[in-house]
Amino acid sequence: MKFLDRTGELKRLDDLASRGEGGLAVLWGRRRIGKTRLLVEWCQKHKGVYSVADQSAGPVQRRYMASAFSQVFAGFDEVEYPDWRAFFGALTRAAEAKGCKGPIVIDELPYLVSVDPTLPSVLQSWMDHDAKRAKLTVAFAGSAQHMMHGLVLDADSPLFGRASQILKIGPLPAGHIGKALSIEDTRDCLRAFAMFGGVPRYWELAAPFGGDVEAAFDDLVMDPLGPLHNEPDRLLALEAPSAMSLRPILDVIGAGAHRVFEIGGRLGQPATSLSRPLTRLMDLGYVERETPFGAPEKGTKKTLYKISDPFLRAWFRVVAPNRALLARAGKPARSKLWKKHASHLCAQAFEDLCREAVFGLKKELKGLQFDTVGRLWESNGPEWDVVAKSEGDKALLLGEVKWSEKEADVDAVERAISDLRRKGVPSIGIGKKAETRIIQAVFFPALTTRARERRFDAVVVDGARVLGALR
Q: In whole angstroms, what is the distance from residue 49 CA to residue 137 CA?
A: 11
Tens of pLDDT, residues 20-33: 899 999 998 888 89
Q: In whole angstroms, what is the distance from residue 226 CA to residue 262 CA?
A: 32
Decide if pLDDT at 171 tops 70.
Answer: yes
11 CB-contact burial (10 Å; exposed 0-12 / middle 13-18 / buried 19+): exposed
Q: Are residues 444 and 383 in the same domain?
A: yes
- 134, 89 in Cβ contact below 8 A? no
Q: Are residues 321 and 375 in the same domain?
A: no
Domain boundary among 316, 348, 380: 348
Q: Does residue 1 form part of some domain?
A: no
Decide if pLDDT at 68 tops 70.
Answer: yes
Considering the entire predicted model, what is its pTM?
A: 0.91
Decide if pLDDT at 57 tops 70.
Answer: yes
Percent of the chain scoring above 90 in pLDDT: 77
Q: Are residues 329 and 430 in the same domain?
A: no
Domain boundary among 168, 184, 202: 168
Q: In whole angstroms, what is the distance from residue 149 CA to residue 26 CA?
A: 9
Q: Does residue 370 form part of some domain?
A: yes
Q: Does residue 367 form part of some domain?
A: yes
End-to-end CA distance of the chain, in Å? 17
Rg of the chain taking only CA atoms, in angstroms: 25
Domain residues for the domain of 103 are: 7-168
Q: Does residue 2 form part of some domain?
A: no
Tally of domains within the chain: 3
Q: Are residues 230 and 298 in the same domain?
A: yes
Element (H, E) at 163: strand 163-168
Q: Are residues 213 and 200 in the same domain?
A: yes
What's the one-letter identity of residue 325?
Answer: L
Give me the pLDDT at residue 436, please: 82
Decide if pLDDT at 432 tops 60.
Answer: no
Give me the pLDDT at residue 393, please: 75
Tens of pLDDT, residues 217-260: 999 999 999 999 999 999 999 887 889 999 999 999 999 999 99
